[in-house]
Amino acid sequence: MSSAVNKKSGLGKGLGALLGNEASISSQKGEAGSISLIAIEEIEANPFNPRTHFEREALEELSQSIRIHGIIQPLTVRKVGQDKYQLISGERRFRASQLAGLTEVPCYVRVANDQTMLEMALVENIQREDLNAIEVALSYQRLIEECSLTQDQLSQKVAKSRSSITNFLRLLKLPAEIQAGVRDNLISMGHARSLVSAGDESKQLEIYAQVIAHSLSVRDTEALVKGELQLTGKDKANVDFVKKPKTNTITDNQYVFKEHLSDRLATKVDIKKATNGSGTIVLKFNSENDLNRIIELLNK
């Protein structure tokens, strides 16, 4: 394939090397199951895409990479009319290609109705894109509500445990201000998970304000929610945090281990210590299947 073709289409060295030669591109434009070079002006964005925010700086960096190396991974589209296509996945690459000034992009062409397309777009974005926790939770919710999936079916489609999916969905019960904090990276998902258990909305917002004001860690947030961390001073904009004495307090390393194990097993983990240093590690499971899932993970 000539460099002129590469420069015009954005096929690039990466994909060109993978495909070997021009014969790897379908000669029948828009043929289902093929990779075709399709004009950018013939492609419209996916209305089902759960991601609505794209950072300009990140897009600029990707567009610069595309100018130099071309598109490594083709977009995925479906044909919706004569010389008209709709994105299924790859909107970030699509937008970056527009910024790079490309006229054509390589695309996988698939056949999909709206229901199938929604499911494909949501599942592919959850698995491949760097969505924030709220975007993932909204995607899960849409798959359940609009694709009529149970949590068990969703668990199989996205290769996540049911308890992990439940943890994401619980984030949507938080006040809009806290959800926006997750979306804007003011707090992590760990902070948000702690705030879910803080009580009513006013209490959640009160603790959230303290987390932001004092840059509290997830551990301190969890302690504040449990009442193991007290606020002292009349002015809550300038307070001291005093930890209540507790007989079974775990060390920082033990806490990090607990959180790591919880994330790895996608279930609640608790470490309970006695005054003599002995104790137990408790793993929560919701069903026989959930227990078997945890056992399989521990045996790996």
Q: What is the pLDDT of residues 49-64, one digit of tens each?
A: 656 567 788 888 889 9
Above 60 in pLDDT, residue 80?
A: yes
37, 69 in Cβ contact below 8 A?
A: no
Tell me where in the chain the CATH 3.90.1530.10 domain(s) lie.
Answer: 3-111
pLDDT of 256 reads 64
Q: Which of 19-23, 214-218, 238-242 has the lowest mean pLDDT?
A: 19-23
pLDDT over 70 percentage in the chain: 75
pLDDT of 53 reads 65
pLDDT in tens, 107-116: 988 776 777 7
Phi/psi at 224 (5° precision): -65, -40
pLDDT in tens, 135-167: 888 888 878 877 788 888 888 888 777 888 888
Catalytic residue IDs? 91
CA distance 267 to 287: 12
Length in residues, the chain: 300
pLDDT in tens, 226-285: 887 766 544 444 445 444 444 456 665 676 677 778 777 878 888 888 777 788 898 888
172, 132 in Cβ contact below 8 A?
A: no
Whole-model pTM over 0.75: no
As its CATH architecture, domain 3-111 has Alpha-Beta Complex (3.90)
Alpha helices in 129-280 (DSSP H): 133-146, 151-158, 162-170, 176-183, 189-196, 201-214, 218-226, 252-265
The amino acid at residue 120 is M
pLDDT in tens, 87-103: 887 888 899 999 999 99
pLDDT of 8 reads 42
Neighbours of 87 (CB within 10 A): 22
CA distance 241 to 234: 12
> Hey, which of 4-8, 32-36, 217-221 has the most confident mean pLDDT?
217-221
pLDDT of 128 reads 56
Above 90 in pLDDT, residue 223?
A: no
Above 70 in pLDDT, residue 13?
A: no
> Which is more confidently placed, 106 or 17?
106
The amino acid at residue 278 is S
User: Look-up: residue for tokens 């793993």?
Assistant: 283
Q: pLDDT class for 33, splitting at 50, 70, 90?
A: low
| Structure-block tokens of residue 209 | 């304000």
Above 60 in pLDDT, residue 30?
A: no
